Amino acid sequence: MKALLIIDMLNDFVKPDGVLYCGKKAEEIIPEIEKIKREFKEKGFPVIYLCDAHESQDEEFSAFPPHCIRGSKGAQVIDELTPASDDLVIYKTRFSGFYRTNLESILRSLGVKELYLTGVCTSICIMDTAADAFYRGFKVKIPVKAVADFDEEFHNFALKRLEKIYKAELIY
């Protein structure tokens, strides 16, 4: 069984007025994620959203400006990718979707062995979630046209690292 993870496709990252706007590349991956989501839904595979949701004094704000404050417009999934009623939404406070969440138990209960990671940012939340998935024995696949980053150099480095270190399969 496989599952689609849609990571941090939130207003603060994807929209030009977002606090941590990832640039035009983040907007350009929306149609590809929509396409992949449709394919997963048609085949009955789970779609899981991993969403930053910080408290106003989160310690992560020592590294990044305050963003994705729980309950704010910035923390909402972009309109184009609004979760369906049967999609799962998991809120996270750190880069990895596994850190202090019930993601692993949900995946195990569904019999998921293979994860497709999409969203932003390739070098941060995608890579950290992929690393934790690898450590837990999940097969990781990255549809390259469905991930983006603030920085193209970091994006390319992350893709190489994902493939070499975490044995992720890059899908072109």
User: pTM (2 decimals)?
Assistant: 0.97
- Report the SS3 class of residue 148: strand
- Give pLDDT tens digits for 22-78: 999 999 999 999 999 999 999 999 999 999 999 989 988 988 989 999 999 999 999
Question: In 22-171, where does DSSP find H-type helix?
Answer: 24-28, 30-42, 103-110, 127-135, 152-164
The CATH homologous superfamily of the domain defined by 2-171: Isochorismatase-like (3.40.50.850)
Residue-wise pLDDT tens digits, 105-120: 999 999 999 999 999 9
What share of the chain has pLDDT > 70, as a percent? 100
Token duo for residue 151: 């920085």
How is the chain split into domains, by residue range?
A: 2-171
Hey, CA dihedral for 88, 110, 38, 156, is it positive or negative? Answer: positive
